[in-house]
Amino acid sequence: MALINKSLPVKTVRKPRSVTINPPKMCQPMGAILAYMGVHRCVPLVHGSQGCSTYPRYNIARHFRESAEVAVSSLAEDAAVYGGAKNLTEAIKNVKSRLNPALIGICTTCMSETIGDDVRLISKKAMAPDDTMRIIPASTPSYVGTHLTGYDNAMRALVETLAAKGKGEPNNKINIITGIINPGDIREIKNMLRIMNVNNIFLSDISETLDTPIMPGGHKPLLPDGGTEPSDIIDSANSLGTIAICRTAGSAATYLQNKFKVPAVLAEAPIGVANTDRFVQNISMLSGAFIPDEIKKDRGRLIDSMVDVHHYMYGRKVAIFGDPDLVSAIVRFCAEAGMNPTVAMTATKHKDFAPDIKAVNSEYKTDTQILEGTDLYEFHEVVKAQGAELILGNSKGKDVADDEGVPLVRFGFPVYDRVGVYRYSIMGYNGSIYLLDQMTNAILGHKYDPNKLHQ
């Protein structure tokens, strides 16, 4: 809850609550499934009850407007007594016979973790000696962590299981660990790397698997084309370096550095001018590539766009919630654009989140209030106290925006009350222009009075 004293800076006073109200976070298996779905011909298999796969599939379908092949071992009450080995063994055999995948990525759940199933041993026994299919188990119980933890655990399991050092020279590639971002973001990052002529390995890549085209004839394969090839994950141990776009997905980069001496860079998400500058510089540093004029022109267009809308955006109060990497980057971008971020909220605690926001406050003389590990109820209370003319977040913020009578610009995951958000990037110079346009148009389209720009 928030109390206001006009003679003092506004502080948040938390009253004890025994419940969480409208948390903008999801369970670990949700993130692990997204990581596995970015690998070519990989089928996620949830070792748990039916609902543990239905919930992620439902959210994937609502956000990406794509069906999702997610298998489940269908644990029931008897598994709590006898264990889930039989169900998992049958699930692996069924997935193999029906879909013939290259990989099966297993996500554990509350039930399978609590009963203590040895997933690695069960998986090994389920495989024939001459089987070429690989099984990647990740520990992802829902009673700890969030969707970000699940993604990170699955991504680390992939590189721990597959990555292997070659005998030759480095492959002259840069590993990009995406984290939970949209297909449009991945395509924009790929385009920047193409312009810089930098070879790359994306860990993982949902730009095709969760944005699948319908080709002539109307045919869609059971398992979509695209995704990171398993051979590329193997080769990631031979790269020049690894950049984690989202630091919450950085443990695979740290593993590759510690195990195979592949330098790791865990920096802010490339949204806005300063963060994208840093991303481009890191690519150049690791690869030795020059920064071409086309990239510099894109940067110039972003700055020009900020100048174009400065008189609309200057001083506007904006409240932001979502995953910590995206929120902290957007807070900085809003400050760069002359806006006034009043509150930055994330349901997932991360060691870099508060320092990032404090750095922006110090640099731009803003007074952004920091909320970590909380919910949208508390976010709403602070918004009412601090004020906001614009809210940025996913679809779960619609009720807050409606109650406060301000527009909501949607980003992140999940977005289910708008279509196509996943197709567009908010990253890089071009993506930042798109995000800025969305914010400006939201303000212009909402009770805009040119004579009262800051009221």
Structure tokens at 286: 């690791």
Identify the pLDDT of residue 11: 46
What domains can you pick out in the chain, each with its CATH number? Answer: 28-162 (3.40.50.1980), 173-212+223-294 (3.40.50.1980), 301-444 (3.40.50.1980)
Residue 7 has pLDDT above 50, yes or no: no
Identify the pLDDT of residue 8: 40
Identify the pLDDT of residue 12: 45
Tell me the per-residue pLDDT of 330-376, one tens digit each, with 9 for 90 and over: 999 999 999 999 999 999 999 999 999 999 999 999 999 999 999 99
Q: Are 298 and 428 in contact (CB under 8 A)?
A: yes
Contacts 24+ apart (CB under 8 A), 224-231: 225/40, 226/40, 227/37, 227/38, 227/39, 227/40, 227/41, 227/42, 228/38, 228/39, 228/40, 228/201, 228/202, 228/203, 228/204, 229/40, 230/39, 230/40, 230/42, 230/102, 230/103, 230/134, 230/162
Q: Which residue has the higher pLDDT, 369 or 68?
A: 369
Provide the 8-state DSSP code for 217.
T
The CA distance from 196 to 283, in Å, is 9
Q: Are 353 and 332 in contact (CB under 8 A)?
A: no
Q: Are 165 and 196 in contact (CB under 8 A)?
A: no
Tell me the per-residue pLDDT of 109-140, one tens digit each, with 9 for 90 and over: 999 999 999 999 999 999 887 788 999 999 99
Structure tokens at 96: 């193999």
Identify the pLDDT of residue 10: 42
Identify the pLDDT of residue 9: 46
Coil, helix or strand at residue 216: coil
Structure tokens at 189: 């990052």
* pTM of the predicted model as reported, rounded to 2 decimal places: 0.93
Tell me the per-residue pLDDT of 305-315, one tens digit each, with 9 for 90 and over: 999 999 999 99
> What ranges make up the beta strands (E) of 206-291?
241-244, 264-266
Residue 164 has pLDDT above 50, yes or no: yes
Tell me the per-residue pLDDT of 255-298, one tens digit each, with 9 for 90 and over: 999 999 999 999 999 999 999 999 999 999 999 999 999 999 99
Q: At what angle do helices 119-126 and 85-99 cross, to 10 degrees?
A: 50
Identify the pLDDT of residue 446: 84
